C-alpha cells in the first residue's frame, strides 16, 4: 500500500491543521522551501531522542507500508532514514524504502537529511530537511525546513503546498508526541498569542544558517 504516493489532492488535506508558523517561504521554477516550527514541553535531549525514533510519531498514512512502526533512522552521517515493507503471501519477502540519508547529526541540536520524500522519490528532484532544536524557557523550539530543488515534473504551486502539508503534519506528530508547550496548541489552531515569544529575536537566521554555524 503505497499511501505516500496516493494523490496530490489527498496529500494536500494535511494542510488543514498545521502549526501557525508553517509556510512556504520560497518558490522558483525549479524548487521550493517550506518551513515550520513548534514548541514542546521537553528538553533538547528528550526532543532529540524522540526525533530520531520516527516510528513513535510519523503518520501511518504517509508511509509505504501503512505502518510507521516500520520506520527507522540512524542518527549519524551516512545513516539511513529507512522503512521496512513487510512481505505478503505464503512465502513473504520483505521490501524496503530509503526516505533520506543523514548528512549531519549534532545530538540535542541539529539533524540534516538529504532525500526526496514521498512522490519526490520517483523524480530527479531531491530535498534537504534540516531540523534544529533550540532550548527555550520551559522546553524546546523545533525548527523544521525542507529545501527542494531539481526536475520534478509537478506544478510548483501544487507540489509545494502538498509537500508542505505532509511535512507539517509530521512536525505536529512529533510535537504532540513530546507534548506541546503551553500556547503552542492555540497557535496551531490559528489563534494569536497575547504576546510574541520573548525567547525569539525579532529577526532570526535561517535554519540552514543556524546548523551551518554548528559545523564551524
Residues whose CB is less than 8 angstroms from the CB of residue 46 and which lie 6 or more positions away in sequence, other chains included: 140, 178
Q: How far is CA 157 from the centre of its chain?
A: 19
Dig out the grid coordinates for 159 from the structure.
507540489
Series of mean pLDDT values for 10-residue runs along the chain (216 residues): 40 42 83 95 98 97 94 98 94 94 98 93 94 97 96 90 91 96 64 42 38 38
Q: Is 153 left (phi over 0), alpha (psi -120 to 50) or beta?
A: left
Q: Are 148 and 33 in contact (CB under 8 A)?
A: yes
pLDDT for position 200: 41
As a whole number of angstroms, the distance between CA 43 and CA 29 comes to 39
Instruction: Tell me which H or E stretch contains 214.
Output: helix 207-215
Instruction: Please state the domain extents for the chain.
Output: 22-61+102-178
Query: What are the DSSP E strand ranges found in 41-94?
Result: 71-73, 80-85
List the CATH code of the domain at 22-61+102-178. Answer: 3.30.530.20
Instruction: Indicate the pairing of strand 31-40 with strand 71-73.
Output: unpaired
Listed in sequence order, the DSSP H helices in the chain are: 8-12, 44-51, 156-178, 184-188, 207-215
pLDDT for position 107: 98
Q: How many residues does the chain have?
A: 216
pLDDT for position 187: 55
Dig out the grid coordinates for 113 from the structure.
537529511
Q: Are 140 and 47 in contact (CB under 8 A)?
A: yes
As a whole number of angstroms, the distance between CA 176 and CA 69 comes to 17
The pair phi, psi for residue 86, each rounded to 5°, is -55, 140
Q: Is the pTM of this model over 0.75?
A: yes
pLDDT for position 214: 36
* Class of residue 36 by CB neighbours under 10 A (exposed 0-12, middle 13-18, buried 19+): buried
Amino acid at each position: 500500500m503505497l499511501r505516500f504516493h496516493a494523490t496530490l489532492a489527498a496529500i494536500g488535506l494535511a494542510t488543514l491543521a498545521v502549526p501557525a508558523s508553517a509556510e512556504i517561504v520560497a518558490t522558483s521554477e525549479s524548487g521550493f522551501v517550506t518551513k515550520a516550527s513548534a514548541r514542546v514541553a521537553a528538553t533538547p535531549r528528550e526532543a532529540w531522542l524522540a526525533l530520531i525514533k520516527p516510528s513513535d510519531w510519523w503518520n501511518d498514512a504517509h508511509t509505504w507500508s501503512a505502518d510507521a512502526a516500520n520506520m527507522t533512522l540512524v542518527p549519524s552521517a551516512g545513516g539511513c532514514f529507512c522503512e521496512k515493507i513487510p512481505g505478503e503471501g505464503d512465502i513473504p519477502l520483505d521490501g524496503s524504502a530509503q526516505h533520506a540519508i543523514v548528512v549531519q547529526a549534532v545530538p540535542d541540536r541539529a539533524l540534516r537529511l538529504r532525500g526526496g520524500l514521498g512522490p519526490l522519490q520517483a523524480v530527479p528532484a531531491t530535498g534537504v530537511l534540516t531540523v534544529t532544536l533550540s532550548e527555550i524557557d520551559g522546553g524546546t523550539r523545533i525548527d523544521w525546513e525542507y529545501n527542494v530543488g531539481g526536475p520534478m515534473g509537478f506544478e510548483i504551486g501544487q507540489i509545494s503546498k502538498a509537500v508542505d502539508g505532509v511535512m507539517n503534519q509530521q512536525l505536529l506528530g512529533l510535537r504532540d508526541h513530546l507534548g506541546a508547550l503551553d500556547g503552542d496548541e492555540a497557535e496551531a489552531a490559528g489563534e494569536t498569542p497575547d504576546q510574541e515569544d520573548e525567547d525569539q529575536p525579532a529577526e532570526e537566521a535561517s535554519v540552514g544558517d543556524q546548523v551551518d554555524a554548528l559545523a564551524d
